[in-house]
């Protein structure tokens, strides 16, 4: 990926993060009340993550990262969008 493409992608994610947070697509209200954002296949593939260390690349605004943490994982989320990390 060229540096210019990387910057275009990063700026785009900075712009859409606030839109995503307000979107009904992410079910943020129910997530805040305890609902997981993880899909059944993700849960099945990783199994019990209690006390495991996870690195979540491109975590966006952190819903999956926090879902893993709720399950007991020691998880670090990273993203190249500063807006996403700030929101997380």
Q: Residue 34: CB partners within 8 Å, gap ≥ 6?
A: 70
Percent of the chain predicted with pLDDT > 90 = 97
In 3D, which of 52, 11, 55 has the Cα closest to residue 64?
55
Is residue 35 over pLDDT 90?
Answer: yes
In 3D, which of 12, 19, 42 has the Cα closest to residue 56?
42
Mean pLDDT of 47-64: 97
Place of tokens 């993880």: 38
Q: Where are the domains of the chain?
A: 3-87
Q: Are 79 and 56 in contact (CB under 8 A)?
A: no
Q: Residue 87: CB partners within 8 Å, gap ≥ 6?
A: 17, 18, 21, 61, 62
Mean pLDDT of 46-62: 96
Which architecture characterizes domain 3-87 according to CATH?
Answer: 3-Layer(aba) Sandwich (3.40)
């Amino acid at each position: 990926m060229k540096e210019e493409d990387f910057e275009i992608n990063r700026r785009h994610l900075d712009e859409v993060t606030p839109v995503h947070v307000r979107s009904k697509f992410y079910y943020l209200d129910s997530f805040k009340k305890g609902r997981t954002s993880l899909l059944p296949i993700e849960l099945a593939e990783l199994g019990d993550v209690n006390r495991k260390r996870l690195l979540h690349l491109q975590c966006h605004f952190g819903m999956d990262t926090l879902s893993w943490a709720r399950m007991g994982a020691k998880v670090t989320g990273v993203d190249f969008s500063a807006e996403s990390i700030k929101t997380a």
